[in-house]
Amino acid sequence: MRILLAAVALLAAAAGCQGDVSGRAHASRDGFVVEDGTRLRFRPVLGELPPGPAVGAPGQRQSTNAATQEAAARALDCSPGVPDALDGRDDPALPLVGCDRGEGTRYLLGPGFLSGADVGWVEARVDPATGSAVVNLTFTAAGARAWAEWTGRNVGKQVAMVVKSQVLTAPQIQAAITDGATQITGKFTLPEARQLARDIAGG
C-alpha cells in the first residue's frame, strides 16, 4: 500500500483541543491526545527490504555500519505475533532496524528526530473531498518548526512512525509541511485509520 503525507488546509477538530496536550490519555470521537510522548519516534527511512523469511542469525539492530544493518534486517523475523526483542528499548539517537508486522516489510531507519511529545493531536476522519479515510496529525509549535524543516529537506522520501521499536506506518513526504497540520493518506478503511491514529497516539 502506498501511503502519502501531505499538508492539509484546516484541522478544525484539532485546533480546539490543544489545551488537552498534557500527556493524559484522552479520546474524543476519532481523535486522540498522545498518551506518552516518549513512546512515539519519527525516524527517516534509509532503506527497506520486502517481506520474506528471516535469513541468518539475529544481528545488531542499532549498528551504525550499513552492512551490519542490512544483515540484521535480513535476519529479523517480521511475522505477525513474533515478539520484538527490543520492545521499545531502542536508543532513539542510533539507527534502527525495525519492521511493520502488518505488512512484513523490514526497514533501515535513521536516528529519531521527533517524538510523541512534539505531536498535539491525532485523528481519523473521512476526507469530504475524496471520500477516503485519512489520519490527521497536528504538531506542537516546536514540533511544527522541526517538522517543517525536515519535510522541506526530504520531499519524496519516507518517514517512519515507530512505537516500541515497530514501524506503524512509513509514508512518503509529498511536500514541505510548514504549518504542522499533516495528513496521512492511503487505501484505509475508517476502522483502519482509527486504529492507526490510536496506535500513533500510544493508546
Domain boundaries, the chain: 1-203
Task: Find the mean pLDDT for residues 105-128.
Answer: 95
pLDDT band at 9 (very low <50, low <70, confident <90, very high): very low
**pLDDT higher than threshold 50 for residue 111:** yes
**How many CB atoms are located within 10 Å of the residue 32 CB?**
25
**pLDDT higher than threshold 90 for residue 75:** yes
- Give the single-character DSSP code of 12: H
Q: Which CATH class is domain 1-203?
A: alpha beta
pTM: 0.84
> Nine-digit cell at 164?
516500541
- Residue closest to 160 by CA, chosen among 94, 113, 91, 93: 113
For the purposes of burial, counting CB atoms within 10 Å of the CB of 102, is it exposed (0-12), middle (13-18) or buried (19 or more)? middle
**pLDDT higher than threshold 80 for residue 27:** no
12-21, 155-164, 168-177: the lowest-pLDDT one: 12-21
Query: Phi then psi for 154, rounded to 5 degrees?
Result: -130, 30
Mean pLDDT of all residues in the chain?
85
Residue 138, C-beta contacts closer than 8 angstroms, at least 6 positions apart = 11, 14, 15, 18, 119, 120, 121, 122, 180, 181, 182
